[in-house]
Chains A and B, each alone.
Chain A
Amino acid sequence: MNMRLVFGLPWRGSYRHKPWIMAFAALAMWSGALLVLHMTRPLWPAGWLGAGVVLAFWLAAMGVLLGSMVRLALEARRLCLPGLERATALSVCLNALALWVVSAVLLAVLSGHPAPLTELLAIGLAAGIAYALLPFWVVALALLLMPLLQGLATSLHWRGIAPQDPRFLEVCVAFVTPALLFSAWNWRRVLQHPHRPIGWFSRPIMLFATWTGRPRILHAAPADGLGRRPACRSRRGCSRRWRCTRPDRPICCVRCESHSAGHIRH
């Protein structure tokens, strides 16, 4: 398999401006991290941690992007395209690995704290991938439980484990391994029935309002008989925060228009 193609899939399989946006985001996040590193060094001995957090967020965003490539694999499967499905899975793994290793090495060299930063970045990346791929209920539950746990920890005077702590490695492994395994399992599950819409409750967030949204949109957009474009539930949905994380949010709206033109088929 052509490695250039595999590595380039997140760019090639995406819309035109995405490579630029991603390059800009990478530049901004790295400058931010370096700035934090540079400015906090004289003030605060653990300033490198700030840079780590900034980059962990960037890797999380990249993870969301990589995870959302499941849509590419899904298209490949739905159309019986050769090679693409495997190339996509490979591309996600290799790109994630490359991003993590390169960022960790660079940051370790710059800050002099390799181990905790590598772990922190791994957590960020895994969280991003899991956010994109895990069923909606898992993500919702995690987001709900987080403040609860936080409150519980504060009220019981639990001390969190700081990244400097040697036990942070265990925390990292305990989070990253199940997150990635669960994501991989859900990736396979999504591809198993490429034409059957997944229930919204168990649908990965990245699949909302794209292909799986079809039946919902069909019911949401009956022609109103007056030649007006029907109000589109999905268009309103676009303003919801999580929808806007998707790179291709015009689709749901446009599909509604096309369906409203009388092309509603069973």
Chain B
Amino acid sequence: MSESNSAPLTAQGLWHTYEGRTALRGVDFKVEAGSVLGLIGRNGAGKSTLIRALLGLLVPSSGGALVLGEPALQLTDRVKERLAYVPQQPEAFPWLTATQMLAFVGRFFPRWDDAFVRATLSRWDIPTGRPLAKLSPGERQRVELIRALACRPDVLVLDEPAAALDPVARRELLREVALRAGEDGCTVLFSTHIVSDLERVASQIALLHAGQLLLHCALDDTKERYARLWLPSRHAAAAPDAPVSRRVHSDGSLTLVVGRGARGDWPAAVQLDGARLDALGLEDLFVEIAA
């Protein structure tokens, strides 16, 4: 198959303008098979827009996307059967109960896992007698996640899956996502602004800021490759070129996020007298870049 050697999700030069606002500015990226890509960005950075464009749920102003080798805007059922998507607002089929909705949707998937549905509905304490409209947002989000996981997808796309979940449910979800990726080889793309979720399960991160992809690499690399460098004002001129981010303080000192060079070495400015290099957690990195 041609799709076996290409990435399950590909964006090619995506631009999108909506109501005079540019939400995506030329996003190019790939989600490799079997990886868990965490898409982080501030509210309004364009995460949902990017996900929708990737899945063909909106027509981008320019550029395109591929899902399992097919153009996103013309997905066939063969691809949709292997794809599960949970949108940010869990409000599908409000007039059905959880059991009805899952039984109804299940008919359209060849690999539907009924045993998983039953087990998870009771484990996650979902009321099955009431219409979905009468469940809490957290419960509805969990029902949506069960729907997405029960079809045994090859590609799982979750838009802010943890937003309405409490910490216990969130941990359960992460566990499930991690196992699906690690054991079934499922490719996962999830967006979040809760960085700690991402740090547990993601193998790759992509940082979207103001419609642009600022960073896209392996999570472990991110932590090892970038650090925060503080330079006193007297060395400001010696600051390395093209840092990932740069902030000037009122006293003239600089805070930079710098990356290692090709041979794994830090920029020379690290050795300057008074310079300070700090390891960066992902959250710090996110704040430094996106602030």
Question: Distance in Å from the Cβ of A213 to the closest Cβ of chain B?
Answer: 10
Interface residues contributed by chain B, number (CB under 8 Å): 42
Taken residue by residue from 124 to 163, chain B's Cβ proximity to chain A (1 for < 8 Å, 0 otherwise) reads as 0000000101101100000000010000000000001001
Q: Which residues from chain B contact A161 at a C-beta distance below 8 Å?
A: none
Contact present for B133 and A251 (CB under 8 Å): yes
Question: Which of A14, A79, A193 has a CB less than 8 Å from the CB of B95?
Answer: A14
Please indicate the chain A residues that have their CB under 8 angstroms from the CB of B136 in the complex: 258, 261
Given A15-B131, A248-B94, A255-B133, CB of A81 within 8 Å of CB of B89: no
A75 and B93 contact, Cβ closer than 8 Å, known pairs A193-B58, A263-B164: yes
CB B290 to nearest CB in A, in angstroms, measures 16
Looking at A75, A86, A258, A266, the one whose CB has the most chain B CB atoms below 10 A away is A258
Give the CA-CA distance A77 to B95 in the complex, in Å. Answer: 17
User: Known contacts being A196-B58, A266-B43, is A248 close to B109, with CB within 8 Å?
Assistant: no
- Whether the pair A81, B108 counts as a contact (CB closer than 8 A) is yes
A246 vs B247: C-alpha distance when bound (angstroms): 55
When distances are taken between beta carbons in the complex, the residues of chain B under 8 Å from A16 are 97, 100
Q: Does A30 contact B (CB under 8 A)?
A: no
Given A16-B100, A84-B108, A266-B44, verify A254-B134 contact (CB < 8 Å). yes
B62-95 residues at the A interface, CB under 8 angstroms: 75, 77-78, 80-81, 83-89, 91-95
Do B104 and A80 touch across chains, with their CB atoms under 8 A apart? no
Q: Which residues of B contact A80 (CB under 8 A)?
A: 55, 57, 75, 80, 83-85
Among B58, B59, B78, residue most surrounded by chain A Cβ atoms (within 10 Å): B58
Partner of B92, one of A78, A86, A263: A78
Q: Within the assembled complex, what's the spacing in Å between the Cα atoms of A211 and B90? A: 11
Looking at the complex, which one of B18, B57, B95 makes contact with A78 (CB distance below 8 Å)?
A: B57
Set A79, A210, A248: member contacting B85, Cβ < 8 A: A79
Residue among B59, B83, B89 with max Cβ neighbours from chain A (10 Å): B89
> Is A265 at the interface (CB under 8 A from chain B)?
yes
Does B52 lie at the interface of the complex (its beta carbon under 8 Å from any beta carbon of A)?
Answer: yes
Q: Which of A75, A77, A79, A254 contacts B133 (CB 8 A)?
A: A254
**Cβ–Cβ contact A82 & B58, under 8 A:** no
User: Do A82 and B93 contact each other (CB < 8 Å), given the known contacts A12-B104, A16-B100, A255-B133?
Assistant: no
Chain A 57-82 interface 0/1 with B at a Cβ cutoff of 8 Å (1 = within): 00000000000000000010111111
- B272 close to chain A: CB less than 8 A: no
Are A265 and B88 in contact, CB atoms less than 8 angstroms apart? yes
In the bound complex, CA of A210 to CA of B86 (Å)? 18
> Does B244 sit at the interface, judged by CB under 8 A?
no
B264 vs chain A, min Cβ distance (A)? 40
- The residue in chain B whose Cβ has the minimal distance to the Cβ of A80 is B85
Q: A13-B104, A195-B52, A255-B133 are in contact. Are A78 and B94 (CB under 8 A)?
A: no
Assembled-state Cα–Cα distance A266/B83 (Å) = 25
Q: Which residue of A lies closest to B84 (CB)?
A: A80
Q: Are B87 and A79 in contact (CB under 8 A)?
A: yes
How many contacts between A and B, using CB within 8 angstroms?
Answer: 88
Contact A250 B133 (CB under 8 A): yes
Q: Tell whether A5 is near chain B: CB-to-CB under 8 Å.
A: yes
Q: What class of interface size applies to chain A in its complex with B? A: 35 or more
Q: Are A251 and B94 in contact (CB under 8 A)?
A: yes
Complex: A266 Cα to B104 Cα, angstroms: 30
Complex interface bits, B11-22 against A, C-beta within 8 A gives 1, otherwise 0: 000000010000
Cβ of A214 within 8 Å of any chain B Cβ, yes or no, is yes
B80 → chain A closest CB, angstroms: 4
Interface residue A194 (Cβ < 8 Å from any Cβ of B): yes
Residues in A neighbouring B131, C-beta threshold 8 A? 15, 250
B173: interface (CB < 8 Å): no
With A258-B136, A258-B137 known as contacts, the answer to whether A82 contacts B92 (CB < 8 A) is no
Specify which of A14, A193, A210, A265 is in contact with B89 (CB 8 Å cutoff).
A265
The residue of chain B having its C-beta at the shortest distance from the C-beta of A74 within the complex is: B92
Interface residues of B in 147-187 (CB under 8 A from A): 147, 160, 163-164
Binding site for A on B (CB under 8 A): 18, 43-44, 52, 55, 57-59, 75, 77-78, 80-81, 83-89, 91-97, 100, 104-105, 107-109, 131, 133-134, 136-137, 147, 160, 163-164
Known: A12-B104, A83-B80, A261-B136. 19 other contacts (CB 8 A): A5-B107, A14-B95, A15-B131, A79-B85, A79-B86, A79-B92, A80-B55, A80-B57, A82-B77, A82-B80, A82-B109, A193-B58, A193-B59, A250-B133, A254-B134, A255-B94, A258-B136, A263-B137, A265-B163
Would you mind naming 12 contact pairs between A and B with Cβ atoms under 8 Å apart? A2-B107, A80-B55, A81-B80, A82-B78, A82-B80, A86-B77, A194-B57, A214-B89, A247-B95, A248-B95, A261-B137, A265-B88
